[in-house]
Structure 1
Amino acid sequence: MAEIIPLPSTPAPTPEPLWRDLLGRRLRSLRQERGERLFDTARRAGVSPQYLSEIERGLKEPSSEMIAAVAGALGTTLLDLTAAVADDLRPTAASAPASVRSGAFALAA
C-alpha cells in the first residue's frame, strides 16, 4: 500500500476588509471623538439611530447621499471621509497579492 504524504499547508490569504466595514468604523470613530450618541448624530443626519448603527457595524451599504448626510452631521465632508477610508485601505492593498493589486478580481455570483 502506498504511503500517504501530507502536502505542506499554506496559510489562507487574509481577505481585504470591505469598504462598508471601514466606512462604518471611521464613522463610529468620528462620532465617538465628538462624544455623541447614535441618536444625536442620526437625528442631525436625518436617519434612524438603528440605520446609523447598522452603517457603523458594516451591515448596510448606504447610498452616497446617506454617507454625505452622516458625514455632514459629524462635521466632515464626503471627500474627507472618503479619503480617510481610502487611507485605511492602503496598508491592506500594499500587502495584497500581486494578482489583486494588478486588477485580477473574481466575483461570486
Structure 2
Amino acid sequence: MSSHAPDQARVIPLRPVPTEPTEPTPKEPLWRDVVGDVLRRERLAQERTLKDVADSARISMPYLSELERGRKEASSEVLAAAAHALGLGLADLLALAHGRLAQPTRPARPLRSRIAPRPTETQSRPGDVRLAA
C-alpha cells in the first residue's frame, strides 16, 4: 500500500539529489587570471621588467600589467606577442596555462557517492503520473 493519500501526487526530482552534505565547489579560475599568472611567472623567472617585455612585445606597459593581473582579456595576437617577447611560442603559453588549470584543487570523489540513486521500477507503479516542473 502506498504511503501517500490517493489525492496527493508524489514528487520525483528530475535532477540528482545529493545524499550527503556537499562541500562548497571551488570556483573555476578565469582564463585571463591563469594566462596572466603564467605571463608574470615567466617574466619574473627571466628576471625581466614589465617595460622590457612590453617593449619587446610592442604593447604598452600598463596593458601588460593589466594582462598579468587578469584585468584584461587579450586577443590571440597580443598573447602571441607577449609569449614571443618571453621566448615562448603561443602553444607554449597555452600549454603552461593548461598545466595550471589541470592541477587538482581538491581530491575528487567518485560521482556515484555524491548523488542519490535513481528510483527503481519497484518504487514507481504503473499508472503513476510524473510531472516536470
Give the TM-score normalised by the residue count of structure 2: 0.62
Mark the runs of 5 or more structure 1 residues left unpaired by the alignment.
1-7, 99-109
How many Å separate the matches in 2 of 1:38 and 1:92?
30
1:23 aligns with 2:32: no
Alignment of 1:8-87 (within 5 A): 10-87=22-99
Q: Which has the higher contact order (CA 8 A, sep 6+)?
A: 2
Inter-partner Cα distance in structure 1 for 2:81 and 2:63? 13
CA distance in 2, matches of 1:84, 1:57: 17
> What fraction of aligned residue pairs are identical, expressed as a percent?
44
Question: Per residue, is there more helix in 1 or in 2?
Answer: 1
Report which of the two structures shows the higher radius of gyration computed on alpha carbons. Answer: 2
Note the alpha carbon deviations across 1:22-69, whole angstroms, 9 max, x for none.
Answer: 100100011011111101100110111100000000010000000000
Alpha-carbon distance, 1:13 to partner: 1.1
Which amino acid counterpart does residue 55 of structure 2 have in structure 1? R
Structure 1 length-normalised TM? 0.74
Q: Distance in 1 between matches of 2:60 and 2:94?
A: 22
